[in-house]
Amino acid sequence: MINAKDRLIVALDYPTLEDAKGLVETLGDAVSVYKVGLEMFLNSKGEAVNYLNGLGKKIFLDLKFHDIPNTTTMASIFAAKQDVFMFNVHAGGGRTMMKSVAERVKEISPETMAIAVTVLTSFSEEEVSEHFATELNIKELAMHWAKATKESGMDGVVCSPWEAASIKEVCGESFKTICPGVRPQWAAANDQKRIMTPKKAIESGCDFLVVGRPITKAENPVEAANLVMAEIQEALA
Ligand SMILES: O=C(O)c1cc(=O)[nH]c(=O)n1[C@@H]1O[C@H](COP(=O)(O)O)[C@@H](O)[C@H]1O
């Protein structure tokens, strides 16, 4: 049976490593994959990665590199050497950059997944059309970038659950979709605009669900994580 635990990535968005340790200890064996983002990586001076590796947890290093090819590739080499199972760049950085990243990471650490962020889940249709000055809607833009990501040799994309099914159609089943913007019905949307419940997200083709505040800010994080996993399991059954 496919394990719901392997599909849930809990975002450790905290200002101190002590806060993160508190949650990881509380969740114990309930969660096996964590995301270390900019806030945690910078505030812990990278120590969060060593801490989680020491516990045998899987890590998504979410530093969203977006720069010229050489700079991004050098940063990606660093990421690939951190013993993380996944890290990301921005697809907006372009094909030359993504090709260079994919090639170098495959040489250094073939098992590390290099993925690219498409359209951030905090964007609405109106904001995207105004900010990117495009006539494409979010799904079209996300698919356009996902195709470029796939053709560059990368392993998958970060997208909202609303785009996952179309991206799988265009890029194939083995191309991974990593989806934040996941909200059980009982959770607040916060700053996320394109949200979906965990059950529907899995049914819509998301390979991994990234969930932060519904678990990290819950009164009972273990119960919240178990509720999310129960929804994932229901969708997988
Ligand atoms: O790359 C990401 O992980 C990411 C991309 C995106 O489009 N939207 C998005 O929310 N994220 C991250 O996913 C997490 C979502 O957290 P919550 O909104 O608290 O569930 C945050 O750590 C974001 O940095």
pLDDT in tens, 88-99: 999 999 999 999
Residue 189, in any domain of the structure: yes
Judge residue 99's burial from the number of C-beta atoms within 10 Å of its C-beta, 0-12 exposed, 13-18 middle, 19 or more buried.
middle
Q: Which residues line ligand 1 (CB under 6 A)?
A: 11, 13, 37, 62, 64, 88, 117, 120-121, 158, 180-181, 190, 192, 210-213
Determine the length of the chain.
Answer: 237
Residue 133, in any domain of the structure: no
- Catalytic, 19? Answer no
What residue's CA is closest to ligand 1, atom 5? 120
The Cα 234–Cα 219 span in angstroms is 24
- Using one digit for the tens of pLDDT, what is the confidence trace for 55-114? 999 999 999 999 999 999 999 999 999 999 999 999 999 999 999 999 999 999 999 999
Give Dmax over CA atoms of the chain in angstroms: 47
Of 202, 204, 231, 200, nearest to 215 by C-alpha is 231
Q: How many domains does the chain have?
A: 1
- Catalytic, 191? Answer no
Q: Both tokens of residue 63? A: 């530093």
Residues in binding site for substrate: 13, 35, 62-71, 121, 183, 192, 212-213
Residue 32's domain is classified under what CATH number? 3.20.20.70
- Catalytic, 6? Answer no
Residue 121, in any domain of the structure: no
Q: Both tokens of residue 185? A: 């019905």
Residue 154, in any domain of the structure: no
- The residue assigned the tokens 């909200």 is 183
Residue 49, in any domain of the structure: yes
Residue 222, in any domain of the structure: yes
Q: What is the atom index within ligand 1 of the atom nearest the CA of 159?
A: 7
Which 8-state DSSP code applies to residue 88? E
Q: Residue 209 belongs to what domain range?
A: 4-114+183-236
- The residue assigned the tokens 């064996």 is 29
